[in-house]
Amino acid sequence: MLDRIKNISREELLNKLFIAYAFIIPLSRAGIVLFSFLILIVWITNPNRKNDFLTALSTKPIQALLVYILFSAIALAWVEWHNLYVATQDLIKFWYFIPIIAMSVYIRQETIYKAISAFLFALFISEIISYGAFFKLFTFMHATHDYPTPFMNHLDYALFLSLASLIILTRLIYEKELKYKILFIFFYITITANLFIGQGRIGQLTLIIAMLLLFLNIFEHKIKAFFLTLILLSTIFTLAYNFSNTFHNRVEQGINDVNGIVEKQNYCSSWGNRLGAIIITKDILKEDPLLGVGAEDHLDKLKEMIDTKYPQMKCLRWYMHYHNQYLEVLSQLGVVGLVLFLAIFYQLYRLKFRNKEFTMIKIIFLTEYLVGFIADPFFLFKIFPMAMFVLFFGLLNAQYIIENSLRDPKPLP
């Protein structure tokens, strides 16, 4: 056994770690840290790591990501001293993005498919636990009947389910064999239903928008694609509204939140919190439009504005973040930071694939995050959605490199 482990090549080991990493992402925060660290260690001890980095750097998305990280590091210069330690810790979290470079250079074509399948299988396990809790068969970790999300909070879990649902739908569309089509239909129904028994409304919104964009890209007849999306979503929402008390109650709560804001200026609700953060960010931009006020300083600024200008928003003082990725970036790094941040997604969008399935995955991935950022800072603040971002960024970038033969053909020792 030891001889077998000793003789395994570094490249083979990395590919096994990539699959394990994809599998663990929906299931364990500690597992994400562990496998990110293992990938880092195996990659950084490689004598060819400089060439690896240059190969990864040849792609525009990696370049855009590194420019944003560099600007975030420079932005520490205008962070107040009492916040500098925490702001630096936030910056250090970018080490979690190392697997993107390792995947870009060393993941094999067959491993990409295995990694996606491992990710979906892990979500299937999570889904079984979720249904078990929802139907009161058992409780597991955080999963209960009213809160059937076993491993992460409802917003994160909804983002995972929405992305997985649409990847399954893509595989269903392109699959030729009937037995696999039946399997994908079953998985698509169960995972979409799981999305609507939870409390993550942003996942439901991302599903709507991503599905429309997906069908518009798959079908040549755009009117047909639009009406097909409308029929499918109408069916899903009608069933969810009538058979899921959780979904029904969340819809009613959303309506009440909006009415409370309009009629009573009540910012102490889910939608009210987010509107309050928008108002405060608007005032921050009036003072520091280009560069923002700095990491962590933006939270001090929020509290200061509540105390001096918006006492009706006092329930927002507990904020650990602005519940919106765009507001987080704008308030900390200003318009310059937001432009650099969006450049990452623009460069991912520009990647062209000969494999149609990866074009669809790209559309799903970008839509999920760009829409999901409206509700929460999924990019760096929260480890589960951050790891999912790293996984699919790495897989898409690697697929692009493979298709364009940008790698060094020599295998690792």
Going by C-beta distance under 8 Å and a sequence separation of 6 or more, which residues neighbour residue 48?
Answer: 408, 412
Confidence (pLDDT) at 413: 46
Q: Round to whole Å and give the CA distance between 78 and 296.
A: 11
Confidence (pLDDT) at 77: 92
Amino acid making up residue 383: I
What length does the chain have?
413
- pLDDT-flagged residues of the chain (< 50): 1-7, 409-413
Domain boundaries, the chain: 2-255+320-403
Tally of CB atoms within 10 A around 48: 16
Among residues 103, 76, 34, the alpha carbon closest in space to that of 383 is found at 34
Q: Round to whole Å and give the CA distance between 226 and 235.
A: 14
Tally of CB atoms within 10 A around 233: 15
Confidence (pLDDT) at 406: 67
Torsion sign over Cα 170, 174, 175, 181: positive
Confidence (pLDDT) at 173: 82
Burial 258-271 (b: 16+ CB within 10 A, else e): eebbeeeebbebeb
Q: Round to whole Å and give the CA distance between 38 and 32.
A: 10
How is residue 367 written in tokens?
């839509």
- The DSSP secondary structure of 335-399, one letter per residue, reads HHHHHHHHHHHHHHHH---SSHHHHHHHHHHHHHHHHHTTTS-TTTT-HHHHHHHHHHHHHHHHH
Confidence (pLDDT) at 261: 61
Name beta bridge partners: 143. Answer: 140
Q: What is the pTM of this model?
A: 0.88
Burial 95-124 (b: 16+ CB within 10 A, else e): ebbbbbbbbbbbbeeebbebbbebbbebbb
Confidence (pLDDT) at 5: 46
Confidence (pLDDT) at 168: 92
Confidence (pLDDT) at 143: 73
**pLDDT tens digits, residue range 84-94?**
998 999 999 99
Confidence (pLDDT) at 222: 67
Q: Angle at CA 207, nearest 5°, toward 401 and 345?
A: 35
Confidence (pLDDT) at 411: 46
